Amino acid sequence: MKKVIVIAGATATGKSAFGLRLAHALNTEIISGDSIQVYRDLNIGSAKLSFDEMEGILHHCIDTRDLSERYSVYDFQQEARAAIADIHDQGKIPILVGGTGLYLKAVLFDYDFTEEENEIPSSDESNETLYARLLDLDPESAKSIHPNNRKRVLRALEIAKSGELKSEREAKQLKKPIYDVTMVVLDVPREILDERIQRRVQTMIENGLEEEVRRCFEYPKTREYQSFQGIGYKEWKEYLESKATLSQTIEAIVIHTRQFAKRQITWFKHQCDATWVNALDPIALDQLEKQILAWATQEETQ
RNA sequence: GGUUCUGUAGCUCAGUUGGUAGAGCAAUGGACUGAAAAUCCAUGUGUCGUCGGUUCAAUUCCGACCGGAACCA
């Protein structure tokens, strides 16, 4: 199996910096595992590295979509795997850096998405009615989806329409990585992370986040885009409509970012087999780098 | 100084015609296979401002005091 390095963790834990460090040491390229950084004009609010900050390291899966476009795990799986293959062909070990847990897992594991229309399933039926139908069509999947989780119920019904059930599709998977993966989760104690988030948002404001938002989402129609769902963007809706103050907007961004970080931590804790490292401990990071470099030079396993 | 409001969960506020109280947000934990920075689930004891009075019983009624707001001087 080919090797892949993964640097994961909550927002504001220093993933990008550590990823760059490894990329230099291994003379390789980085693949961003992030659902918002794929959008071309979302720079400040998505905490995207600037061209200079990339320090000459090639970054994949960034700036690949226009604000009006939809994007999904499927797209990411295709494009990230293509980039991985390309880097492997150069005899290098790709580094996947990102905080979108599902995206990382879908690339590394044998998640199976068949080619299909990327449409948002919609319905005006009640949650109860939809769930009842799912119970009938795919009881196995229904068991693991809460009736109120309309999005998931609709998706499972959508899959069932194709003839194959969601539960059947997943049962065929081995649920094992398709690469030889070394995965690291960068960890920062919650209280400190909260402060870092506060500061980071403040910096975004100073760097002109409001201007970026106005430029990208000036027209109300654009605020229906998937890209507008990003934290740091959607919070400006009320502000742009003169229904909220600047400080309320900033506060909302901070709160949403913290809640997001919490969800990310929960995901990585339970969904992934990874080495957790205190990102604030320079000695631990040095050791980690050495370990990864040593692992990188080992023979490929079968 | 006077009048009228007001003080209940971290925040904004309901409520109890007197039997010690509950929403939203926040917070905490969790789920997660095509929107995932999304979506969803679970968790609510707090001297009901302080001190007195009435009462079998006061957060609820009465008084004083201490905060806050508005208006009048």
ipTM of the complex: 0.94
Using a 7 Å cut-off to protein CB atoms, list the covered nucleotides of chain B.
26-41
- Nearest nucleotide to the CA of A171, by C1', is B33
Residues near A207 by Cβ (< 8 Å), separated by ≥ 6?
A44
Asked if residue A255 keeps its beta carbon closer than 7 A to nucleic acid strand B, the reply is yes
Residues 257-286 of A with CB under 7 A from strand B: 258-260, 262-264, 266-267, 269-271
**A248 CA to B1 C1' distance (Å):** 39
Asked if residue A248 keeps its beta carbon closer than 7 A to nucleic acid strand B, the reply is no
Dihedral through CA A264, CA A268, CA A274, CA A277, nearest 10? 40
Residues 64-103 of A with CB under 7 A from strand B: 70-75, 99-103
**Lookup: tokens for A197:** 């988030």
**A161 CA to B25 C1' distance (Å):** 39
- Nearest nucleotide to the CA of A234, by C1', is B37
For every one of its 302 residues, what pLDDT tens digit does chain A have, with 9 covering 90 and above? Answer: 999 999 999 999 999 999 999 999 999 999 999 999 999 999 999 999 999 999 999 999 999 999 999 999 999 999 999 999 999 999 999 999 999 999 999 999 999 998 887 778 888 899 999 999 999 999 999 999 999 999 999 999 999 998 899 999 999 999 999 999 999 999 999 999 999 999 999 999 999 999 999 999 999 999 999 999 999 999 999 999 988 899 999 999 999 999 999 999 999 999 999 999 999 999 999 999 999 999 999 988 76
- Nearest nucleotide to the CA of A169, by C1', is B33
CA A102, CA A164: separation in Å to the nearest integer?
22
pTM of structure: 0.93
Query: Do residues A82 and A59 lie in contact, with contact meaning Cβ atoms separated by under 8 Å?
Result: no
For A223, other C-beta atoms within 10 Å of its C-beta total 19
Residues 32-71 of A with CB under 7 A from strand B: 34-37, 45-47, 70-71
Residues near A202 by Cβ (< 8 Å), separated by ≥ 6?
A250
Dihedral through CA A124, CA A125, CA A130, CA A131, nearest 10? 110
- Nearest nucleotide to the CA of A37, by C1', is B37
The alpha carbon dihedral of A215, A236, A42, A116 has a sign of negative
**A99 CA to B37 C1' distance (Å):** 9
pLDDT at A119: 78
Task: Quote the DSSP letter at residue A213.
Answer: H
**Three-state DSSP class for residue A265:** helix
pLDDT at A302: 67
Query: Do residues A107 and A181 lie in contact, with contact meaning Cβ atoms separated by under 8 Å?
Result: no
Fill in the amino acid letter for A50: S
Residues 176-205 of A with CB under 7 A from strand B: 190
CA A102, CA A253: separation in Å to the nearest integer?
22
**Three-state DSSP class for residue A171:** helix
Query: Do residues A264 and A9 lie in contact, with contact meaning Cβ atoms separated by under 8 Å?
Result: yes
CA A183, CA A180: separation in Å to the nearest integer?
10
- Rounded to the nearest 10 degrees, what angle do helices A209-216 and A190-206 cross at? 70
CA–CA distances in Å: residue A278 to residues A37, A45, A200: 25, 25, 19
For A189, other C-beta atoms within 10 Å of its C-beta total 11
Strand order, beta sheet including A3-9: A59-60, A30-33, A95-98, A3-9, A180-187, A275-278
